[in-house]
Chain A
Amino acid sequence: EVQLVESGGGLVQPGGSLRLSCAASGFTFSSYWMSWVRQAPGKGLECVANIKSDGSAKYYVDSVKGRFTISRDNAKNSLYLQMNSLRADDTAVYYCVRGGSYLKDYWGQGTLVTVSS
């Protein structure tokens, strides 16, 4: 059974940093693109970043370029999102998702990031 379990969310002040993690199991992690998708409270969905199966290609939405970094450790079956210079509009539930643009077939339960003073 495919499982994606996010962790690392919480309350952070504007300008602060946070690192999200996603532990994957039930599939060959190193064979899949992975994504982070976020959902602001009561709002729709936005794909933040994608990373290729071997980590050699990464794509970011413009609003997080230069501030967020997606990475992965295939030996640990883990996906990460380093978030720096956080702003109030980064407040959202962040989902770890299997697949890049074409797939997105399994989603984690999400972790809430709140940026507030």
Chain B
Amino acid sequence: DVVMTQSPLSLPVTLGQPASISCRSSQSLVHSDGNTYLIWFQQRPGQSPRRLIYQVSNRDSGVPDRFSGSGSGTDFTLKISRVEAEDVGIYYCMQGTHWPETFGQGTKVEIK
């Protein structure tokens, strides 16, 4: 199985400051169709996960533009340009290129 490794696992951030989460895969996530199926989810406390970013860098409808995704191959990043209080939660990356799909361990974002 493809192992997804996130860092850091805990991320205390000051309101208004940027935040960055890394996600590395044990194999390339480039699919034979040329696409890279790397997704980012946000899970706020007590809620179901919500998709933020798909295929590395495509932001979902309704997701604030302070969220951005980047990367290629085995190395990916989720950035929040200016953290707001509503961004508190756990962020997961997930690869869908290889079965079984696998998730990172999660990164807990909290306000300092």
A residues near B (Cβ < 8 Å) are 37, 44-47, 50, 59, 61-62, 95, 100-110
Query: B51, B96, B100, B104: which contacts A61 (Cβ < 8 A)?
Result: B100
Chain B, interface SS category: loop
Whole-angstrom distance between the alpha carbons of A89 and B106 in the complex?
Answer: 20
- Verify if B23 is at the interface (C-beta below 8 Å from A): no
Whole-angstrom distance between the alpha carbons of A107 and B106 in the complex?
Answer: 17
Query: B48, B60, B94, B101: which contacts A108 (Cβ < 8 A)?
Result: B48
Query: Which B residues from 44 to 61 make CB contacts under 8 A with A?
Result: 48-51, 54-55, 60
Q: Is the CB of B103 within 8 A of A107?
A: no
CB distance from B60 to the nearest CB of A (A): 7
If A44-B106, A102-B37 touch, whether A95 touches B49 (CB-CB below 8 Å) is: yes
If A104-B39, A110-B48 touch, whether A45 touches B96 (CB-CB below 8 Å) is: no
Query: A59, A95, A103, A110: which contacts B100 (Cβ < 8 A)?
Result: A59
Query: Which B residues from 95 to 112 make CB contacts under 8 A with A?
Result: 96-97, 99-106
Which range contains the number of B residues in contact with the other chain?
Answer: 20 to 34
Query: B37, B97, B100: which contacts A47 (Cβ < 8 A)?
Result: B100
Residue of A nearest to B60 (CB): A105
Residues of B contacting A44 with CB < 8 Å?
92, 103-106
Q: Is the CB of B103 within 8 A of A105?
A: no
Q: Is the CB of A62 within 8 A of B96?
A: no
Q: Is the CB of B96 within 8 A of A101?
A: yes
Q: Is the CB of A104 within 8 A of B94?
A: yes
Residues of A contacting B99 with CB < 8 Å?
59, 101
